[in-house]
Amino acid sequence: MKKIILSALLITVFASCKKLNDVLPASDISNPQTGAVIPTAEEGKLLASLKVTPVVENAQQQIVKASVSGTTLNLAYAEKVHLIIDKDRYTKSWYIVFDEDFKNTQLNGLDYKMKMQWGDTVLNWKPYNLHQIDKTVTDTTIGGVKVVNVKFERTFNFFKQYATAQEANNKLEEIAGKKEQVKFLTRYQPDTDTTRFYVNTANLVYTK
């Protein structure tokens, strides 16, 4: 089962990473000491990819809760993310980019509010640096090599005001049950190529 999960993850990594295949290093895990765990070929490729970019693991279905308050349509996007990151790069990178691409979704271009980990609620701003996001960090191993598991959740409270309550409710009924896709973009900084992002797509589902 572990090999199946790793294989599926690797297919996603190499199929969706912009320009990543051109720079992906070969696995340098060789001649392990006696008694050491020897990574499989798939694990070696995954470990090599983690040197280049964080990897989004098992991008689960993302839920947007829709509601209406007066003439305002509210869309609460509960984001849940699990990243696997090279331990050395996690420690030494001064900036680990995590961003969302909402193009081609109902959320694109809407105003939003987000509560920060220090308690303030801000308008149309979010942390892009993983080091500034409230998260859970744990160590794990892949093929005997230590890597970092990072998990976090945050809520985007999108909203749009309509001329009448009826218009807002009509829009609510229109999008309820709709399924779209959101893109997650990641990369390390400093990086030799600041235009390169690892891109992973997750399903976005609207409920009420």
Question: What pLDDT was estimated at residue 191?
Answer: 82
- Residue 29's Cα: distance from chain center in Å? 27
User: pLDDT by residue (tens digit) across 8-39?
Assistant: 444 444 444 444 444 445 545 444 555 678 88
Q: Determine the angle formed by the axes of helices 2-16 and 41-50, rounding to 10 degrees.
A: 40
For 59-73, what is the mean pLDDT? 96
Domain edges within the chain: 2-207
Average pLDDT, stretch 137-147? 96
Per residue in 104-118, pLDDT (tens digit) is 999 999 999 999 988
CA distances from 17 to 10, 124, 188, 197 (A): 11, 27, 13, 7
Highest average pLDDT, of 2-6, 18-22, 93-97, 161-165, comes from 161-165
Q: Answer yes or no: are the C-beta atoms of 59 and 126 closer than 8 Å.
A: no
- 59-86 mean pLDDT: 97
Residue 35 is predicted with a pLDDT of 61
Segment 43-67 shows an average pLDDT of 93
Picking from 94, 108, 81, 114, the residue whose alpha carbon sits closest to that of residue 187 is 94
Residue 7 has pLDDT above 60, yes or no: no
Query: What is the largest distance, in Å, between two alpha-carbon atoms of the chain?
Result: 72
Average per-residue pLDDT in the chain?
87
Structure tokens given for 106: 């109902």
Q: Tell me the pLDDT tens digit for each residue of 84-141.
A: 999 999 999 999 999 999 999 999 999 999 999 888 999 999 999 999 999 999 999 9
Query: What pLDDT, on the 0 to 100 scale, is given for residue 173?
Result: 98
Banded pLDDT at 197 (limits 50, 70, 90):
confident
